[in-house]
Structure 1
Amino acid sequence: MSKLKALGSHIGMRLGLATLPAGHRSFIKEHLFFLLFAAIPGTFVNTFFFRQSGTVATAAIYNALACFGSALVMHFSSFVVIKKNPAFLMRVGVMLYNLFYLALIIGREQAAAYMPLYALGAAVAGGFYWQGYNLLMQSAASPEIVNHTVSLFGMGSAVISLVIPVLTGNLISHMQGMTGYTVVFFLAFVVSLYTLNLARRIPVSHQSTSHNLIKAYHYTFTHKSWLLVMLSETFRGMRETSFPLFLSLIFFRYVNNELLLGISTMCSGMAALLANDLTRRKIRADNRLRWVFRACLMITAGFLLLFLNNSGGLIFGLSVFYSFMIPFVANPSVGIMYNTLQRSRSDINFGQTMAIHELFLATGRVLGLMILLQLSHSETLYAWGFLLLNLTGFIAAWLLHQSSRLQASEAAEP
C-alpha cells in the first residue's frame, strides 16, 4: 500500500497536482472517473444504435438531440445552482447518468426504437453535470490553473482511451447479439456509482446569487468580445462532435467489428496523449492562437487525402492524425473561452453565461452533424463535407483573435 501511495505521489508531482488547491484536486479526481465511466461505452453507444437501426442517421440524430437538449437543460440548471451549488449539480448529473445506463441495460434490442427518449435522458444528465463542471472551472484561481486543468483532463481522457476501448470492443465482439453491449453498460453503471461517491466530496463553493437570463443574453449580444468568443465556439462545435462520430462510424462500416474499432480508438488515444502533453508544455497565453492556426492548416491538408483515396486504412490514419492535431486547437480555444467568460459582471450569473455559451456550441455541433449526415451518402460528398467543416476551424480561430485584440484594447483604456 505504501508503494502505491508513493507511486501516486510521484505521478501527482510529475503532473503538477501538488501546486493545485486541495478542493480543485478533488474536482479533478471526480472528473477523471467521470471520463472513465463515459469512456467504457464511449463510441459504442453509437455503434449500438447503428447495429440496431442499420443507418448512420440514428446515431447522428441521437447525438444532435443530446447536444442541443443539454444546452437547453443548462439554462434550467443555471437557476438551480443559485439555490444550491456546483457540486450539487454534478452529483445530480452523475446520478442521472446512473439511470441512463440502467435504461440502456433494460432496453437492449429495443433501444433504437426509443432513441429520442435516450437522447433526452443523456441531455438532462449532461445539462446538470456540465453546468457544475463549468462553474468549478470558473472558480479556479488563475488562467494558469485553468490551462493546466484542461491539459490534465485531456491527458486523462487520452490515457483512458488507450485501454478501455480495446477491452470493451473485445468484450462486445466476442459475445452474441446485444449481450456484450449489456455487459459494457453495466460496467459503466458500476463506475458511475463510485463517481457519485467522489462527487459528494467536492467542496461547496459559493456562486453569484444574481439571476437575470435576459440581461445575460443582452450583455452577450452587446459586448463584442464576448459575442466573438461565443460565435467562435459555434464554429468550433461544427467540427468537434461530427468528426469523431463520422470517422468512427465510417471506419466501422468498413470493418464491421467492435474490436477493430476499439483498436482504432486506442491508437487515437495514444496520439491524443502525446499531443496533450505537448500542449501542456508548449502552449502559452502569448502563442496559443498561432498554434490554433497551424493545427487548422495541417488538419485541412491531411483531410485532402480523402479526394485521392478512400479506404478503411485511410480513415484509420485520419482518425489518429485528427486525434493528435485537435488538442492544439481545442485546448487553447477552451482556455481562451474560460478566461474571457469568467470575467462576468457582478450582476450576471456565470452559470447562465455558460448556458448561453453551451447553446452557441450545441448549435454548431448540430449543424456539423446535419451537414455530414446529408453528405454521407457517397465517398466524394463526405470528403467535401469534411473539407467544408475543416474551414470552420479557421473562422473560429480568427474570431478568437479578434476577441483577444478587443480585450487587450479594453484593458489598455484608462
Structure 2
Amino acid sequence: MFLDRSAKWLLTINASFAVSVALSSTFVNVYLWKVKSDYTMIGLFNLFQYLMIAMTFVLAGWLVKRRDRVVTLRIGVVVLALFYLSVLLLGKRSVDHVLWLGALLGVGNGFYWLGYNVLYFEITEPDNRDRYNGADGLFTSLSEIIAPLLSGWLIMTLSDLWGYYVIFGISLGIFLLAIFMTFFLPKRPLKGRYALCAVYRQSRQKTKWHYAMLASIGQGLPDAVFVFLIGLLVYVVTGSEWKLGLFFFVTAGVSLVAYFLVGRFIRRSWRNAFILLGALMMSIAVIPSLFQTHFWTIILFGIGLSLFAPFFLIPLTSTVFDLIGANRWRVKTRVEHVVMRELALSVGRLLGIVAFLVWVQLTQKTGHLLLLIFILSLLQCFSWFFMKKADGVQDR
C-alpha cells in the first residue's frame, strides 16, 4: 500500500530532522572540546541533556493526552531550533553555559521524539508500515553517511571555528523549515486520562513487560556514552574533523547494510540469540583499540559496533513494541508505555554518564576511556539475561 499524504509529510519532517542532526549533533561535543578540552564539561552537558529528555517525555506524554501529538512535535522542533540559535549567539561562551544548553537540547529531543513516535503509530498502518520504515531508514542512513563527511569538509575548509557556525546555521535553517511543515500534519486529540502511574505500577509486577524494562535499562547503559564519547575520541586521537567525518561515513555505510540484512532475515525464534551475539561482539570489537590506540583500530571498532548493533537493537526493540501491542489495555495506554520505555532507557543512560564522570576523575587516558566503553558494552548482556527471563513468565 502506498503512503498517504500525512505519512509523506511525517517522513519529510523526520528526514529533515535526520539531516540536521547528522550535520551538527556529531560535532557539538567536538566544538565544545575545541573551545575547552574538559571531559567533565562534556559529561555534564550530556548528563543534563539525557536527564531533561526523561523529564520531558513525562510532560510531553501528558500534553499529548490533553492537546495533540502534533503540538509536542512542533514544540520539539522549535526548542531544537532555539538550541542551535543559542550556540550561534553564544559562540565560544557556550562552554560557560553547558548545563542549560544540554537541558535545552534534551527538552527539544524529548518533545520531538514522543510526538513523532505517537504520530508514527497513528499515521502508518500494518499494511504500509514496512514501506514507511524502509523509506525512513533509507533517508536516515543516507543522512548519516553524507552529512558528517560534508560537515568535516566545511570545518576543515573554513578557518578558526567558522565551519562549526556554518553547519549550526544550516541546522537552524532546516529546523525552521520543519516547523512550517508540521502545520501540514493532521490534528487528532487523544482521549482518556494520562495513566502513567498505573503503567508504572504494572511495570513493577513480574510480567514480561517488567523484564523488558529491566532489559531496556541494560540497553541504555552504554547508549549515551557511545553517542558522545566515540566521536570525541576519534577527534582526540586524530585531531581532524575530516577524519571524524570519514569515520562516520564508513560506519554509517556498514550500519545501513547490517540493518537491512538483519531486518530482512531475522526470525522471532532467533531474537534472544541475536541480542546476546550483538552484545558480545560489540564488546569484542573494542579490544584491538585497547592494546594499540590509533585511527585504524578505532575505525575497526566503529565497523564492529555498526555491524553488530543491529543484532542487539532490532530484536530488543521489536520485542518491546510487540509487548505494547499484546493486549488491549497496553494499546489504549500506548503513550504511557512509550514514556515508560524511555524512562527505563534513561535510567541506563544516566547511570552510564555518571560512570563516565566518575571514571574521568580517576583517569583521562584514551586507552582507559576505551576500557570504560568495553565494560559498558559488556553490561548489555544483562539485556539478554532479562529478555531470556521474560520468556519464562506469564504475560498479563
Structure 1 gap ranges (5+):
1-17
1:25 & 1:329 partners in 2: Cα distance?
Answer: 29
1:150 & 1:208 partners in 2: Cα distance?
Answer: 27
The residue correspondences of 1:3-402 to structure 2 (distance < 5 A) are: 18-20=1-3, 23-139=6-122, 152-222=135-205, 224-342=207-325, 343=327, 345=329, 349-376=333-360, 377-402=364-389
Q: Secondary structure at the match of 2:24?
A: coil
1:297 & 1:212 partners in 2: Cα distance?
Answer: 37
Q: How far 1:27 moved relative to its partner?
A: 2.2
Q: In the alignment, which residue of structure 2 is the partner of 1:403?
A: 390
2:254 & 2:59 partners in 1: Cα distance?
Answer: 37
- Residue 373 of structure 2 aligns with an amino acid whose one-letter code is F
2:355 & 2:246 partners in 1: Cα distance?
Answer: 28
TM (norm. structure 2) is: 0.90
2:331 & 2:188 partners in 1: Cα distance?
Answer: 18
User: For residues 168 and 344 of structure 1, do their structure 2 counterparts lie closer, same or farther at Cα, with a shift above 3 Å needed?
Assistant: farther
Report if aligned partners of 1:43, 1:248 keep a CA contact under 8 Å in 2.
yes
Report if aligned partners of 1:90, 1:129 keep a CA contact under 8 Å in 2.
yes
Q: Secondary structure at the match of 1:241?
A: helix
2:128 & 2:5 partners in 1: Cα distance?
Answer: 13
Q: How far 1:130 moved relative to its partner?
A: 1.3
Q: How far 1:380 moved relative to its partner?
A: 4.7
Q: Which of 167-176 and 346-355 deviates more?
A: 346-355
1:211 & 1:361 partners in 2: Cα distance?
Answer: 20
- Residue 232 of structure 2 aligns with an amino acid whose one-letter code is L
Q: Which of 330-339 and 371-380 deviates more?
A: 371-380
1:176 & 1:109 partners in 2: Cα distance?
Answer: 15
Q: Secondary structure at the match of 1:291?
A: helix
Q: How far 1:181 moved relative to its partner?
A: 1.1
- Residue 398 of structure 1 aligns with an amino acid whose one-letter code is F
TM (norm. structure 1) is: 0.87
Structure 2 gap ranges (5+):
none
1:191 & 1:51 partners in 2: Cα distance?
Answer: 25
Overall identity of the aligned pairs, in %: 19
Q: How far 1:322 moved relative to its partner?
A: 0.9
- Residue 375 of structure 1 aligns with an amino acid whose one-letter code is W
2:220 & 2:135 partners in 1: Cα distance?
Answer: 21
Q: How many pairs are equivalent?
A: 392
2:125 & 2:100 partners in 1: Cα distance?
Answer: 40
Q: Secondary structure at the match of 1:310?
A: coil
Q: Secondary structure at the match of 1:106?
A: helix
